[in-house]
Structure 1
Amino acid sequence: MALVTISGYPSSGKTRRAQQIKHALEARLHDPSYAGPSLKVVVLSDDALNIARDAYRDSRSEKPARGALFTSMQRQMSQDTILIVDALNYIKGFRYQMYCAARELKLRVCTVYVVATEEMCKEWNAQRPEQERYSTETLDNLLLRYEEPSSMVRWDSPLFTVPWSDEDIPADQIWKAVTEGNVKPPNAGTQAVPKAPTDALRTLEATTTTIVAAIMSEQVGAGGMGGTVTLVVSDDAKPTITLPPRNITLSELQRIKRQFVTVHKKAITLGTTEKGAVDWSDKSIADKFVLYIEENLKA
C-alpha cells in the first residue's frame, strides 16, 4: 500500500515521530467512517532487527546493517501494509534504492524529515542508556555524512519536514499521501527482462535456414519470375513472401540471414526491450524473417 521513510540525524527523535505516525494512521483506519481496504501499519527499525549502534562506526560494518534493513523492508512491503521505516536513512542513494523497491510493487511513498540541531542530538544521545547510545566518534561521523532529503527529487517526495519544536506530526498530509497519493509505475530499470525459451536460438537458426532453402527451391521452379509464393517451414509456419522478378543468389540470402540472426540473437541472449511476452515460435520467426527479406531485397 505505502512506504513511509523516516530520515534525520541520529538521536533526533525519529522513533518518537514514527510512533506518532503509526498511532495517527491506525486511528484513521479504525475510524467508523473509514471505508477503504483493510490495512495494517508496521514500523521497521534497527532496534527491531537487533542492529547495534556501533554497526555505523564504519562503512565495512554499516553495509551489512543496511542490507539487513533493506531485505526486511522488501519482505514486509505489500498492498495491505503501510510500512514505516524508522532508521537513519541518511544516504540519498539508499533512499533512492528504497523508493525503487516501492515503485516496483506499485506502492505509494512519502518521506518524513525529522529535524533537530546537532547540539540537541548530541545532548539527547548522551542521555540515553549506554547500549542505546552512539559513541562520540560515530555520532560525529554520521552528522558529518548526513545527506538531507529534498522535495526537489522524486525519491524524497512528497517530503514532510517535522522540526523538533513541533508537538505533533502533519498527520492529515501523511494520511493523504499514503492513501491518495500517485502510484508511480515501476522504473524500467527495475523490471524483469522477458526471457526467451531455452530452444529459441536453435529455432531461430533452423527456421531461417529452412526459409533460405525454400526460396532457392521456389526460384528453380519459377525460373526467376518472382511473384508471391508460400513457403512451407512446418505445419504451423507457412509464411507468404513476394519475390522480385530476378534471380536471388544464395550468397545474397545468406547475408540477409546473418544480419537477421545477429540482431535477434542479441535479443535472445540479452533480453528483449519489447513490451509483453515475446513469441519465439517458428511461425513468429518465419513471419518476421520473410518481412525482413522483402525489405532488404527492395533496397
Structure 2
Amino acid sequence: MPLVVVCGIPAAGKTTAATALASHLQRQSPEDPVVVISTATVNVDKTRGYADSRAEKNTRSALKAAVEKAVNTKTIVVLDALNYTKGERYELFCKAKAESTTYCVRNEAREEGLDPKLLEELAARFEVPVEKNRWDSPLFRLTPDDFAADGTGVPLDAITDAVRFGKTVKAGPATKAAPAAETSFLQALDEVTSAIVDALLAHQRDAGVADGLRVPPHTVNNELRLTRPLSTAEARRHRRQYIKITRIRPCAVAAIGDLFVEYLNQQA
C-alpha cells in the first residue's frame, strides 16, 4: 500500500495535516490499516533530534527503520517528519519501489516555532521538492494559510485519490536486491563510482560541463548529461549518497555505472 511523505521545516503544520489525512484515509477504507510515523512514534524529541549532525543522523535512522518495517502491500504509511533533503526522499522512493507500492510527497512550510537559531539552520538546509523528480512526484504543496487547525482545507480527496489510485512505482534494477552470490559487489560499487567521478572531474577541468560523456567500460547505455559543472566536494557527496542508497538496495554489478550516471544526471 502507499507511502505518503510529508516534508517541510519545523512548525509548518505537518502533523495537523498528516493527522487529518490519516483520519480521512481510515474513514474512506476502514479495512486498510493506516500507520503514522513521526519523531514521537520513534521516541525522539523533535528539538533534540535535530540539535546536531549526530543526533540528526540517529533521528533519520530511526524514522527510516520504522518506515521499512511498516511499508508493505497492505498498510498505508504516512511519514510525518522534516524529510528536507532530496537524498532522504530518494531513499524513501526506492523503498516504495522495492515494495511495488504508490508514493506521494506533500510539502508544507512556515517560519515560526522552535528555537530561532535551530529553525534558521534547518530552513537553510531544506531542499524544496521538485515535481519533475520521480521521488518528489506526485507532489501536493501546502502552507499554513491553506488549512485550519482541525485540518480543514487540506486537499484530502485529491491526496487520497493519488494514494489509492496513483501509479504504482515498480521495482527496477536500482531497487531489486542483487543475488547474495555477488560477493564482490561492494568492491565494484566503490571502484566504478570512483572511476566515474574521477572521469567527470577530469573532463570538467579540460572541457567544461559534462554533456554527453561516457565512461567505458563502466557505462554502457547512459552518458553524463549535466546542466552545470559539479565541484569536487559535490561530486563526492553525490557518490557517497549513491553508495549509501545502493548498499541498502543493491543492483546488478553490471548496472552500477549506468545507474550512477543516471543518478548524477538527476542531481545537476
Give the TM-score of the pair, scaled to structure 2.
0.64
Distance 1:140 1:174, change over 3 A: same
Q: Which residue of 2 is the match for residue 103 of structure 1?
A: 97
Does residue 117 of structure 2 align to residue 137 of structure 1? yes
> 1:195, 1:76 → 2: CA distance?
24
The 8 Å contact of residues 173 and 252 in structure 2, kept in 1 or not, is answered as no
Greater CA radius of gyration, 1 or 2? 1
In the TM superposition, residue 162 of structure 1 has moved relative to its aligned partner by 1.6
Provide the C-alpha distance between the structure 1 equivalents of 2:181 and 2:81, rounded to a whole number of angstroms. Answer: 41
- On the 8 A contact 2:34/2:77 being kept in 1, the answer is yes
Indicate the residue corresponding to 1:188 in structure 2.
173
Partner of 2:27: 27
**Residue 72 of structure 2 aligns with which residue?**
78
Deviation at 1:197, TM superposition (A): 10
Gaps of at least 5 residues in structure 2 are 148-152, 184-250, 256-268
Q: Does the CA contact (< 8 Å) of 1:9 and 1:115 recur in 2?
A: yes
Question: Structure 1 residues 272, 165: CA separation in 2 closer, same or farther (over 3 Å shift)?
Answer: closer
Cα distance, 1:195–1:115 mapped onto 2, change above 3 Å: closer
* In the alignment, structure 1 residue 147 sits paired with structure 2 residue 127: yes
Paired with 2:172 and 2:84, the residues of 1 have a C-alpha distance of 22
Indicate the residue corresponding to 1:170 in structure 2: 155
Aligned pairs for 1:252-271 (under 5 A) are none
Match of 1:170, as an amino acid? P
1:50 aligns with one of 18, 26, 43: 43
Cα distance in structure 1, aligned partners of 2:37 and 2:21: 13
Aligned AA (2:137): S
Deviation at 1:143, TM superposition (A): 1.2
Query: Aligned equivalents of 1:195 and 1:185: distance in 2?
Result: 22
Following the alignment from structure 1 to structure 2, what is the Cα–Cα distance between the partners of residues 101 and 197?
Answer: 21
Q: CA, structure 1 residues 73+195, in 2 after alignment: closer, same or farther (shift >3 Å)?
A: closer
Q: Percent identity?
A: 35
Per-residue CA deviations over 1:220-278 (Å, capped at 9, x if unaligned) read: xxxxxxxxxxxxxxxxxxxxxxxxxxxxxxxxxxxxxxxxxxxxxxxxxx96769xxxx
2:87 pairs with 1:93: yes
- How well do the aligned residues superpose, as a CA RMSD in angstroms? 2.1
Q: Distance in 2 between matches of 1:195 and 1:113?
A: 38
Deviation at 1:101, TM superposition (A): 0.6
- Alignment partner of 1:39 is 2:32: yes
| Aligned-partner Cα distance in 1 for 2:38–2:71 | 14
The amino acid across from 2:32 in the alignment is: L
